Amino acid sequence: MQNFDVVVIGGGPGGYVAAIRAAQLGFSTACIDGYVRNDKYSLGGTCLNVGCIPSKVLLQSSENYAELTHSFADHGISCENPQIDIKKMLARKEDIINKNANGISFLFKKNKITEIHGWASFKQADSGKYIISVDDKGIQQEISATHVIVATGSNSRHLPQLATDNINVLDNEGALDLNAVPKELCVIGAGVIGLEMGSVWSRVGAKVTVLEVMDKFLPAADEQAAKELHKNLLKQGLVIKNGVKIGEIKNGKKKVTINYEHNGEQHKLEADKLLVSIGRVPNTNGLNAEVVGLKLDERGFIVVDDECRTNLPNVWAIGDVVRGPMLAHKASEEGVIVAERIAGQHPHFDFNTVPWVIYTNPEIAWVGKTEQQLQAEGVAFKKGVASFMANGRALGLGNSVGFVKMLACEQTDRILGVHMVGPFVSELISEAVVAMEFMASSEDLARIIHAHPSLSEVTHEAALACDKRQLHG
């Protein structure tokens, strides 16, 4: 039996990063992962294989097509009868997935991490060691570990009354593998996956209707920012209905029929494809948590403290399988932090400075408190808002919708939240994250020189606006 200081269960963005950091710190480390794609084991978890990375690949491809067909004429660039090859678009996506998965394997070899494929489960705890059983397509092996990091991620939540076949009724995986553009796509759920994948297929010709149970659009985001995104998505042709009650759904041979109630009226929608994007659930099935007494909550999440420790000594859990936002970068940071805590270090993690991004066009990104949260908490604040409309770089890109909003404490001027809608705000939000981590004030950012012309100048203007001294607005 092989023995390791650290065994990581799960090779997604939390697990593989935890394994690399543990190995860097001198621990003998193994990472067990059972994800299979196209009949081959593929590291990277949901994020790389059927989530963050492939969705961004398709978003970029579809955006290029949309710009060619709608926007490039403004630049003096014309093309008669442009075509899109969906199979080639998907092949490019697969190539990028494979390159990244192979890259993780390379990093494992470089850091002398033992890569084990198969499905892992706890077998027993014995004299300070944990015995882990691994099922590799029917072939069994056992390994032991002093420390175990559970990073098994999450799975798509499905509608209880409807089977997901990934032919007509899709989850995120099926939405990434459509080999033709559906004439009509219905999306249930106006969250990250629903809006991003709805955008992909809308840009290349599908009529997309998004049905959302919640009364408000993107309630987790700042209300002003959410309204700006909503307005622009409607302009692009997406139909978005909030406050919907989903009724009977029938999966026919050629069409999916969705019955729903909206504003007190009954509706029936017939779609070629239905994407169900109603959230995700922790992937703890098959871990045999009960065998060793690993504590789960009523929703299936592994119970951890602020340091990602479980109720068992030397067993840790990170990422989507524990509390907190289901974000790949949150999982990766927790992976690093746990490895360092095993080594006796004391790293820092602040949930309030975790950035959020949705890669629609325009993009939306935020960090910290929303205006509505501060009002509910009775926190006195000031705000500065600056538009991309007056930004030379944004105008040159042909993408000048949106704004940056900065919220700062009225007494101390410390930045409490930053909310952005516009071009490449997924990149711009990092400045706000760094500022908040260093407890910066709006005055600090207002006094920093930003390159001209650049999109970051809008962040600078928002900081200036907190003190009512915006220069270009």
Domain 2-156+281-349 has CATH 3.40.50.740: no
Rounded CA separation 234/112 (Å): 50
Rounded CA separation 242/398 (Å): 30
pLDDT at residue 383 greater than cutoff 90: yes
Over the stretch 211-234, which tens digit does the pLDDT of each residue have? 999 999 999 999 999 999 999 999
Contact 258, 268 (CB under 8 A): yes
Domain 354-465 has CATH 1.25.40.10: no
Query: Mean pLDDT, to the nearest integer, of 445-450?
Result: 98
Tell me, yes or no, if 329 is annotated catalytic. Answer: no
In 236-353, alpha helices (H): 289-292, 328-342
465: confidence class by pLDDT, cuts 50, 70, 90: very high
20: which 2 tokens?
A: 């690399």
Residues 6+ apart with CB under 8 A from 283: 152, 153, 154, 155, 320, 321
**Nearest CA to 387 among 370, 405, 374?**
405
Rounded CA separation 163/215 (Å): 26
- Where does residue 70 rank: exposed (0-12), middle (13-18), buried (19+ CB within 10 A)? exposed
Predicted local confidence at residue 473, as pLDDT: 83
Query: Mean pLDDT, to the nearest integer, of 157-183?
Result: 96
- Whether the domain at 2-156+281-349 and the domain at 169-278 fall into the same CATH topology: yes
Over the stretch 67-81, which tens digit does the pLDDT of each residue have? 999 999 999 999 989
Over the stretch 260-292, which tens digit does the pLDDT of each residue have? 999 999 999 999 999 999 999 999 999 999 999
Residues 6+ apart with CB under 8 A from 285: none
- The residue extents of the domains of the chain are 2-156+281-349, 169-278, 354-465
- The fold of the 169-278 domain, in CATH, is FAD/NAD(P)-binding domain (3.50.50)
In 25-111, alpha helices (H): 45-50, 52-66, 86-110
Predicted local confidence at residue 127, as pLDDT: 80
Contact 51, 79 (CB under 8 A): no
State the DSSP code for 298: T
Average pLDDT of the chain? 97
**DSSP structure string for 212-260:** -SSSSSSTTS-HHHHHHHHHHHHHTT-EEE-S-EEEEEEE-SS-EEEEE
Radius of gyration of the chain (CA): 24
Region of residue 189 (phi > 0: left; psi between -120 and 50: alpha; otherwise: beta): left
126: confidence class by pLDDT, cuts 50, 70, 90: confident
37: which 2 tokens?
A: 């794609």
Question: Which residue in 147, 450, 452, 472 is the catalytic one?
Answer: 452
**DSSP structure string for 409-472:** ETTT-BEEEEEEEETTHHHHHHHHHHHHHTT-BHHHHHTS---SS-TTHHHHHHHHHTTT--S-
Whole-prediction pTM: 0.96
Predicted local confidence at residue 253, as pLDDT: 84
